Every structure is written in C-alpha cells, then in structure tokens.
C-alpha cells in the first residue's frame, strides 16, 4: 500500500518506536515560493515538501559531480575510480543556486534531507515533471527497509542542451510503500550504504 500525506506527516514529526523522525528537515506542505529575507519579495522555486501520496526532497548545495572520460580507463563498479567524477561549481543568480549538467552527460548529487526509513517500508524515488520536460532523467534506486542517511541522487541529461539543476529546491519525489514485516532489514544485514552523509557516495563492493 502506498502511504498518504497523513501517515508521512505523522512519521516525519513523531517518528517511529525509536523516536527517529523519518524525514529531516520536514516541510508539512508543498513549498512553491520562498523568501530569502523580509526585505525581498517571494521567489518561485521548484516545489518541495509534502504532497498527497509522497514527499519531494531537495538537492543539497554541498556537492555535485559529473562523469568525465579518462582515456584508457573503463568505469568498474567493483573498483570505482573517483577520478571519473569531477566536482562542478555551484552558480548563483536571481533565479537561485544551481549546478550545470552538460548535454548528454551524467551527474551525481546528494539529498538535503536525511531519511530514516521504517522497517516495514520501502521508498521509491521518481523524477519530477519539471525536470523531465527538460530532458533530465532521475535514475534512482530504492531506499530499503530500515535504511538511514542522505540519498545519493543520479541524473542523466538526455537532451542536446546543458541544463540547470537547482540546489535547495525540489528534485525528486519519494513514494512510501508498506509491506509485511521483512525477516532481514537493510539495517539488520548491515548494508554497505547505511548512514550516508550529505556527500556523494561512490559505488562500493
């Protein structure tokens, strides 16, 4: 069963039996405008926060990395070479802060929000329509039962033009699926991506 806004709010504000809030920080409504300070007018943002049957998380401004080709090398998921990922600059103008994902390239970012997934829930991440209409594909793996940390987010620019990806604004939506209690959770089996920090986490074996 997919969980609704009532359940998401309760789990985010009150937490589970261990008093772990499911989403930190949490916005109890869908935010479409923000005000930097009292002297400035409201600025439109790519929405984030609570929706009817999901939650839109934000891209952190801390780090974004883009794949680059190194002649003579092959990307190996069993022995990942961090030099294949290049840090990219955070830009800021009147529209907000953003990273640039070049045409036909692939980049990794990290979620601003921290998750504590309940033991009977699996979280699926899907792309937002605003970015999909710009050719950005969110290639995201699930957050399994009892997973904790900041999600590493993967994006592909399938268009022939460079594209902005805005930091501190909505970037993907989380869907929470409830199932029968599992015998072994991600935490129990000590999954290798547990407790990820707010930095891009590379492939591990």
Question: Which residues are part of the catalytic machinery?
Answer: 154
What are φ and ψ of residue 83, in 5° steps?
-70, -15
Q: How many CB atoms lie within 10 A of CB 86?
A: 12
DSSP letters spanning 32-64? EEE-SSTTSPPEEEEEEEEETTEEEEEB-SS--
Q: What is the sign of the dihedral through the CA atoms of 164, 165, 166 and 171?
A: positive
Greatest C-alpha distance within the chain:
54
Torsion of CA 94, 95, 97, 102, to 10 degrees: -120
- Are 166 and 120 a contacting pair, CB within 8 Å? no
Q: What is the sign of the dihedral through the CA atoms of 116, 121, 122 and 124?
A: negative
């Amino acid at each position: 069963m997919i969980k609704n806004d009532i359940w998401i709010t309760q789990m985010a504000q009150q937490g589970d039996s261990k008093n772990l809030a499911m989403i930190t920080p949490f916005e109890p409504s869908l935010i479409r405008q923000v005000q930097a300070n009292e002297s400035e007018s409201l600025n439109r943002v790519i929405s984030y926060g609570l929706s009817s049957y999901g939650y839109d998380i934000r891209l952190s401004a801390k780090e974004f990395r883009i794949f680059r080709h190194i002649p003579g090398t092959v990307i190996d998921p069993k022995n990942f070479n961090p030099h294949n990922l290049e840090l990219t600059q955070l830009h800021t103008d009147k529209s907000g802060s953003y990273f640039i994902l070049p045409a036909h390239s692939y980049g990794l970012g990290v979620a601003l929000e921290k998750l504590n997934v309940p033991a009977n829930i699996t979280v699926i991440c899907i792309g937002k329509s605003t970015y999909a209409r710009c050719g950005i594909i969110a290639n995201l793996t699930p957050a399994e039962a009892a997973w904790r940390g900041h999600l590493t987010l993967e994006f592909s620019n399938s268009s022939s033009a460079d594209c902005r990806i805005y930091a501190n604004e909505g970037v993907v939506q989380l869907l929470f699926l409830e199932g029968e209690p599992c015998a072994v959770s991600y935490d129990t089996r000590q999954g290798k991506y547990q407790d990820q920090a707010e930095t891009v986490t590379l492939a591990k074996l």
